[in-house]
Amino acid sequence: MTLISGSILSYSTSLPVIFLFMSASMLPLITKAFWMQEPQFNALGLLLVIAYLILSALIPRQNRLLVENIILRIENEHQPLTDPLTELGNRRRLYLLVETLLPSSLRRKDPFSVVMLDIDNFKLYNDKFGHSAGDDLLVTISEILRECSRDQDLVVRYGGEEFLLVLPSTGLDAAVILVERIRSAVKEKTPVTFSAGIATHREDLSFDQLVEKADQSLYVAKAEGRDRYVLAD
């Protein structure tokens, strides 16, 4: 009965219900054990009293943790999948895609590529024209990325002025063609340029390792003068 009383914590968030169940199941046993007037039953009654007191102290804390976990799960399930400024996918949307993309790519031996893209000298642009203009630029770049990518591609605002493109069923050559198309559109419609790193998935790489390779290539592009892309090894 003690174990059953404790296990109800896993099935109810109502403290009155929990205490009612525990009291209804344990108090009659405690009373019966002491009423028997025999040493072994008295010892059992004492153990049940101790268990009752321990559960009475434990239940409110465990109940609070249970309720907090339920709230966190609900909040997590209802978290937005898009960046509020650019309306691109966010990192949560990214990893939901990866959960299906990576196994599918491995099973079908179908390569996919990622592009890490960063606006050149964005801080200087912000300092010169103000943060409102900087936000407008991010929105414009986001629109260009959507226009240039395919329906099956995922465009993510990865952080700040960084964007990540996930390109299913896309090898390195096709990824380069897409990046060149984006470069031309950005130069035509905005006063800025961008640098990018491109990486294609291999079976020995996790998704995070693939993104890290693209990110490293991006920083090589920055170091080599910006307004260019670099292919990962």
pLDDT tens-digit readout, 119-149: 999 999 999 999 999 999 999 999 999 999 9
- Between 79 and 169, the more confident residue is 169
Q: What is the pLDDT of residue 72?
A: 54
Q: At what angle do helices 131-148 and 122-129 cross, to 10 degrees?
A: 130
Please indicate, yes or no, whether residues 103 and 69 belong to a single structural domain of this protein. Answer: no
Q: What is the pLDDT of residue 62?
A: 63
Please indicate, yes or no, whether residues 47 and 160 belong to a single structural domain of this protein. Answer: no
Q: What is the pLDDT of residue 65?
A: 62
Q: Which residues is 197 bridged to in the sheet?
A: 116, 230
Q: What is the pTM of this model?
A: 0.68
- Between 161 and 77, the more confident residue is 161
Please indicate, yes or no, whether residues 135 and 25 belong to a single structural domain of this protein. Answer: no
84, part of any domain? no
Query: What confidence tier does 54 reach under pLDDT thresholds 50, 70, 90?
Result: confident
pLDDT tens-digit readout, 12-31: 555 566 666 666 666 777 77
Q: What is the pLDDT of residue 109?
A: 87
Q: What is the torsion angle, in degrees rounded to the nearest 10, for the CA atoms of residue 45, residue 50, residue 54 and residue 57?
A: 90
Which of 77, 104, 121 corresponds to the end of one domain? 77
What is the token pair recorded at 58?
């434990």
Query: What confidence tier does 5 reach under pLDDT thresholds 50, 70, 90?
Result: very low
Active site residues: 161
Q: What is the mean pLDDT of the chain?
A: 84
Which of 16, 49, 77 corresponds to the end of one domain? 77
Please indicate, yes or no, whether residues 37 and 121 belong to a single structural domain of this protein. Answer: no
What is the token pair recorded at 154?
């995922």
Query: What confidence tier does 204 reach under pLDDT thresholds 50, 70, 90?
Result: confident
Distance CA 30, CA 84 (A): 59
Domain extent at residue 32: 2-77
What DSSP designation does 32 have?
H
What's the number of domains the chain is made of? 2
- Percentage above 70 pLDDT, the chain: 76
Please indicate, yes or no, whether residues 116 and 198 belong to a single structural domain of this protein. Answer: yes
Nearest to 144 by CA among 111, 186, 180: 186
Query: What confidence tier does 34 reach under pLDDT thresholds 50, 70, 90?
Result: confident
Strands in the chain per DSSP E = 113-119, 154-159, 162-167, 194-200, 229-231
pLDDT tens-digit readout, 86-129: 999 999 899 889 989 988 888 888 889 999 999 999 999 999 99
Q: What is the pLDDT of residue 16?
A: 64
Sheet harboring 194-200: ordered strands across? 154-159, 162-167, 113-119, 194-200, 229-231
52, 22 contact by CB (below 8 A): yes
For the chain, give the longest Cα–Cα distance: 94
Please indicate, yes or no, whether residues 73 and 95 belong to a single structural domain of this protein. Answer: no
155, 145 contact by CB (below 8 A): yes
Distance CA 220, CA 230 (A): 7
Please indicate, yes or no, whether residues 22 and 57 belong to a single structural domain of this protein. Answer: yes
Please indicate, yes or no, whether residues 107 and 55 belong to a single structural domain of this protein. Answer: no
Distance CA 154, CA 93 (A): 9
83, part of any domain? no
What is the token pair recorded at 167?
């390109």
pLDDT at position 219 over 50: yes
